[in-house]
């Protein structure tokens, strides 16, 4: 199978995270299978919280599989835990660091220090642990949806690291306008980015329990619209579209060059389900086995 450039390494394996919450001893073998399946080119690294790296090492020690596992660490242990997490991966010979992701918490602004200062501390921690940005193991700083988020994004832009936006999951989903503003700001400030949570399906939808979910195909096409000079209102309209045939046609019509440019900005998205997004692409005939 030849994987279209628009979808290569698009889906990071977030099986450990809600709502999937897979046990580690289930998630690791499943990721191994994904990496050898016909759709392997669509799969990014295994995402693991820093707080569970010791447990991950124990699981690897009991599987009898010594193949290297590419892992991107989600630092859930505070900014001070960045260095410890990177060291923990380096100390486990069966792990290879494929990225680091650090959330900025909105409470930082309310606690007396600005979000800009919180971003600076995070950048300093990443620099100390990694020696600077590395495209082979990209590091993302998650920007919260609070007042001052663009100030933090400006710090990220100066640092050379990447930005991350939470697009759903168990938290309130950001509106189309919020996501559009984030995309435009990242392009203006020259900051590559990723999304996470709530993007299991290709097209924007309402779930059976009346929750709204963004579509990852909408997100990709929204970036393409922004690259074409679309304003925030037009980008938001792409994100809101539920016209599945039209979205599939637009995605299929992207040239390889344009698709590669889109992906240079939108690096990937994290999903607790790897197979759901792939099934969606198969249904839309944007992917064949």
Q: From residue 148, give the alpha-carbon distance in Å to each of 82, 110, 122, 144, 217.
A: 23, 11, 16, 9, 28
Tell me what pLDDT residue 168 has: 81
- Rounded mean pLDDT for each run of 10 residues along the chain, 289 residues in total: 89 92 94 95 97 94 81 96 97 95 71 79 97 94 92 96 88 89 97 91 83 92 96 96 96 96 97 92 93
Contact residues for 6 (Cβ-Cβ < 8 A; gap 6+): 220, 251, 254, 259, 262, 263
What is the dihedral angle through the alpha carbons of 219, 142, 119, 101, rounded to the nearest 10 degrees?
-120
Residue 29 domain-assigned (yes or no): yes
DSSP 146: S
Closest CA to 43 of 270, 288, 286, 217: 270
Tell me what pLDDT residue 107 has: 55
If phi > 0 it is left, if psi is from -120 to 50 it is alpha, else beta; for residue 36 that is alpha
55 CB neighbour count, 10 Å cutoff: 15
Residue 124 domain-assigned (yes or no): yes
Residue 288 domain-assigned (yes or no): no
Tell me what pLDDT residue 113 has: 61
Residue 230 domain-assigned (yes or no): yes
Helix axes 53-63, 82-91, angle to 10 degrees: 10
Q: Which domain holds residue 135?
A: 5-283
Q: How far apart are CA 257 and CA 146, in angstroms?
A: 35
Number of domains making up the chain: 1
Q: How far apart are CA 146 and CA 130, in angstroms?
A: 28
Tell me what pLDDT residue 61 has: 81
Tell me what pLDDT residue 224 has: 97
Residue 289 domain-assigned (yes or no): no
Residue 274 domain-assigned (yes or no): yes
Tell me what pLDDT residue 111 has: 44
CATH number at residue 84: 3.20.20.70
């Amino acid at each position: 199978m030849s994987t279209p450039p628009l979808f290569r390494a698009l889906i990071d394996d977030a099986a450990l995270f809600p709502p999937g919450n897979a046990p580690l001893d289930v998630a690791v073998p499943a990721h191994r299978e994904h990496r050898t399946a016909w759709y392997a080119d669509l799969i990014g690294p295994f995402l693991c919280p820093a707080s569970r790296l010791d447990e991950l090492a124990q699981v690897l020690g009991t599987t009898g599989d010594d193949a290297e596992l590419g892992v991107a660490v989600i630092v859930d242990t505070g900014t001070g835990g960045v260095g410890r997490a990177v060291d923990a991966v380096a100390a486990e010979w069966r792990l290879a660091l494929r990225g680091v992701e650090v959330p900025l918490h909105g409470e930082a602004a309310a606690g007396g220090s600005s979000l800009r200062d919180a971003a600076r501390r995070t950048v300093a921690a990443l620099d100390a642990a990694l020696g600077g940005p590395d495209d082979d193991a990209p590091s993302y700083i998650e920007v919260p949806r609070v007042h001052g988020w663009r100030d933090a994004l400006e710090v990220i832009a100066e640092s050379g690291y990447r930005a991350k936006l939470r697009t759903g999951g168990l938290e309130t989903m950001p509106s189309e306008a919020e996501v559009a503003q984030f995309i435009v700001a990242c392009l203006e400030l020259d900051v590559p980015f990723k999304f996470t949570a709530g993007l299991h399906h290709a097209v924007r939808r309402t779930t059976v329990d009346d929750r709204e979910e963004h579509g990852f195909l909408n997100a990709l096409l929204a970036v393409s619209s922004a690259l074409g000079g679309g304003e925030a209102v037009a980008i938001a309209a792409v994100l809101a579209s539920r016209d599945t045939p039209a979205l599939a046609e637009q995605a299929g019509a992207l040239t390889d060059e344009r698709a590669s440019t889109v992906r240079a900005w939108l690096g990937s998205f994290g999903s607790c389900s790897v197979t759901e997004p792939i099934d969606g692409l198969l249904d839309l005939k944007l992917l064949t086995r």
